Amino acid sequence: MAETAKANNLRTYEYYKYLLTEIPKYQDETDLAVFDQLLPWSASLPEYIRRKK
């Protein structure tokens, strides 16, 4: 997971922190498609998680 985050130019620590705050919001969700927005290659991740190029 860390390597995938790095490969997608994410700040690993910030990405994990984001996941740990966002995933609980979906604990009762039955449609797993909502988790697509949390994947490392998702365009919907906040900018502060991305490394500056």
Residue found by looking up tokens 């860390």 in the block: 2
Each residue's pLDDT tens digit, 1-53 = 999 999 999 999 999 999 999 999 998 988 889 899 999 999 999 999 999 87
d(CA 31, CA 19): 17
**Residue in 19, 8, 13, 16 with CA at minimum distance from that of residue 43:** 8
Task: Identify whether the C-beta of residue 51 lies closer than 8 Å to the C-beta of residue 45.
Answer: no
Q: What is the identity of the amino acid at 13?
A: Y
pLDDT at position 40: 97
Residue found by looking up tokens 């997608």 in the block: 8
